[in-house]
Amino acid sequence: MSGFREEDPRINSIRTKIRVVPNFPKQGIDFLDITTLLLDPKVFKNTIDMFVERYKNKNISVVAGIEARGFIFGPPIALAIGAKFVPLRKPRKLPGEVISEEYTLEYGSDCLEMHVGAVQHSDRALVVDDLVATGGTLCAAMNLLERAGAEVVECACVIELPALKGRERLNGKPLYILVEYHS
Amino acid sequence: MTSRNVEDRIQKISSVIRVIPDFPKPGIMFQDITTLLLDTKAFKDCIDLFVERYKDKNISVVAGVEARGFIFGPPIALAIGAKFVPLRKPGKLPGEVIREEYSLEYGEDIMEMHVGAVNAGERAIIVDDLIATGGTLRAALNLLEHVGVEVVECTCLIELPELKGRDRLGDKPLFVLVSAS
């Protein structure tokens, strides 16, 4: 973290519980693995608590989680703040009528879907994922929610890779993260 | 907590699960839990029912099957102070894994778990949203038992009893909230 802001004492254990796996999914990529954090109940709880403390008094009515690791962090936050949980999924997983948003990858494109009727115009939403890299997925998620008429209040991730400048792809929406990773 | 209270909560949970006909293919009635997740009280009641059942059973591992098991497993794990272990489709987990093959209606699939996620002797529950034929849960059970974990129970929101998934779990107990025929 940059600047002189005093770090919450829980951040250090969150950072150290994240495992760096080199050369996954391909050579030259350091993969930030949150599964090791999930193995420590106290640190996992601290992670959720930090998000809950930030959002509980902000009238958030929707927590949207991006498949699949957003499904791990989103629901506990939603339950604690009394918001609905909305899963944003890869194509053809959601069984009902959906809206889709395409987004570009390094090579090719992918698509994110949300059920029609999951969110309404009056909803204030949070988008949750484990990590933000280029910001493409978060951007697609935000677009889905806004197309359905919801207001995206903030994006929240455990980890940011600042070198990939994902923050700039969020159309000015704020991004809250717990840990930065600089390779 | 009276049994009427439990019954009321289950009744409500059952009523907010959406059935979608002919998904993923004709003739299949898909049990959609996403509508339950939109009902904050029903979702909370659902988690509470599982937590009440497992909190005093010395469970140290909650294993959740990708992807809908990731929605229900972590809140239970957090509430009972257990670790959460994701069981995933092949190629998703970045570290060294152990794998278990299992058969589908057509073809096969593979389930993976990280080496070192669990220790021999730990007591676990396995969580998924639904049990159909039991193939997926059987694979999860095998994965955990191969490394010496004691699986105390398999737990789902929904069972499709006609598909006899319960039989595939052998002597392992199965707990479900809703039976859908």
pLDDT band at B4 (very low <50, low <70, confident <90, very high): low
- Residue B77 phi/psi, 5° resolution? -55, -45
Of B68, B100, B112, B159, which is the active-site residue?
B68
User: Is A67 assigned a catalytic role?
Assistant: no
Q: Are strands A151-160 and B61-65 parallel, antiparallel or unpaired?
A: unpaired
Distance of CA B127 to the CA centre of its chain: 2
Lowest mean pLDDT among A97-111, A120-134, A140-154: A97-111
Q: Considering only CB atoms, which chain B residues are within 8 Å of A35?
A: 85-86, 93, 95, 114, 117
**How distant, in Å, are the alpha carbons of A16, A23, A92, B97, B163 from that of B24?**
42, 36, 9, 30, 17
Q: What is the pLDDT of residue A4?
A: 60
Question: ipTM score of the complex?
Answer: 0.97
User: Is A92 assigned a catalytic role?
Assistant: no
For the segment A82-108, the average pLDDT, to the nearest whole number, is: 95
Does residue B139 register a pLDDT over 90? yes
For the segment B93-122, the average pLDDT, to the nearest whole number, is: 94
Does residue B143 register a pLDDT over 80? yes
For the stretch A51-87, pLDDT in tens is 999 999 999 999 999 999 999 999 999 999 999 999 9
Q: Is residue A3 part of a domain?
A: no
User: Is residue A108 less than 8 Å (CB to CB) from chain B?
Assistant: no
Distance of CA A77 to the CA centre of its chain: 11
pLDDT band at A105 (very low <50, low <70, confident <90, very high): confident
For the stretch A2-55, pLDDT in tens is 556 689 999 999 999 999 999 999 999 999 999 999 999 999 999 999 999 999
Q: Is residue A125 part of a domain?
A: yes
Q: Is residue A47 part of a domain?
A: yes
For the segment B97-108, the average pLDDT, to the nearest whole number, is: 90
Tally of structural domains, chain A: 1
Q: What is the pLDDT of residue B142?
A: 97
Q: What is the pLDDT of residue B181?
A: 81
What residue in B sits closest to A89 (Cα-Cα)?
A: B67
Between A83, A87, A95, which is nearest B23 by CB? A95
Between A68, A76, A84, which is nearest B67 by CB? A68
Mean pLDDT in chain A?
95
Nearest to A60 by CA among A135, A156, A140, A138: A156
Q: What three-state secondary structure class fits A18?
A: coil
User: Is residue A94 less than 8 Å (CB to CB) from chain B?
Assistant: yes
For the segment A155-160, the average pLDDT, to the nearest whole number, is: 98
Which tokens in the block code for residue A38?
């999930």
Q: What is the pLDDT of residue A108?
A: 86
Q: Is residue A154 part of a domain?
A: yes
User: Is residue A79 less than 8 Å (CB to CB) from chain B?
Assistant: yes
pLDDT band at B33 (very low <50, low <70, confident <90, very high): very high
DSSP states along A119-162: S-TT-EEEEEEEEESSSHHHHHHHHHHHHTT-EEEEEEEEEE-G
Helix (H) or strand (E) holding A114: strand A109-115
pLDDT exceeding 90 applies to what percent of chain A? 93
Domain with A27 in it: what CATH number? 3.40.50.2020
pLDDT band at A160 (very low <50, low <70, confident <90, very high): very high
A25: preceding bond cis by omega (within 30 degrees): yes
For the segment A119-132, the average pLDDT, to the nearest whole number, is: 97
What residue in B sits closest to A97 (Cα-Cα)?
A: B20
Q: Are strands A30-33 and A19-22 parallel, antiparallel or unpaired?
A: antiparallel
Indicate yes or no: CB of B86 within 8 angstroms of CB of A35: yes
Q: Distance from A171 to chain B by nearest Cα, in Å?
A: 27
| Contact assessment for residue B55 and residue B79, using Cβ atoms and an 8 Å cutoff | yes
User: Is residue A86 less than 8 Å (CB to CB) from chain B?
Assistant: yes
Q: Is residue A161 part of a domain?
A: yes
DSSP states along A37-60: HHT-HHHHHHHHHHHHHHHTTTT-
Q: Considering only CB atoms, which chain A residues are within 8 Å of B92?
A: 68
Indicate yes or no: CB of A118 within 8 angstroms of CB of B66: no
Q: What is the pTM of this model?
A: 0.97
Indicate yes or no: CB of A72 within 8 angstroms of CB of B84: yes
Q: Distance from A89 to chain B by nearest Cα, in Å?
A: 10
pLDDT band at A147 (very low <50, low <70, confident <90, very high): very high
Q: What is the pLDDT of residue A109?
A: 93
Does residue B162 register a pLDDT over 80? yes
Q: Considering only CB atoms, which chain A residues are within 8 Å of B40?
A: 78-79, 82-84
User: Which letter does DSSP use for residue A108 in this model?
Assistant: S
pLDDT exceeding 70 applies to what percent of chain A? 97
Q: Distance from A177 to chain B by nearest Cα, in Å?
A: 20
Q: Are strands A151-160 and A175-180 parallel, antiparallel or unpaired?
A: parallel
Indicate yes or no: CB of B34 within 8 angstroms of CB of A92: no
Q: Is residue A174 part of a domain?
A: yes
Give residue A153's domain range. 9-180
Q: What is the pLDDT of residue A125?
A: 98
Q: Is residue A173 part of a domain?
A: yes
Which tokens in the block code for residue A121?
């115009």
**How distant, in Å, are the alpha carbons of A63, A113, B159 from that of B17?**
19, 20, 13
Between A31, A41, A67, which is nearest B83 by CB? A41
Indicate yes or no: CB of B37 within 8 angstroms of CB of A87: yes
Q: Give dist(CA A132, CA A134) in Å, integer.
A: 6
For the stretch B111-121, pLDDT in tens is 999 999 999 99
Q: Is residue A2 part of a domain?
A: no
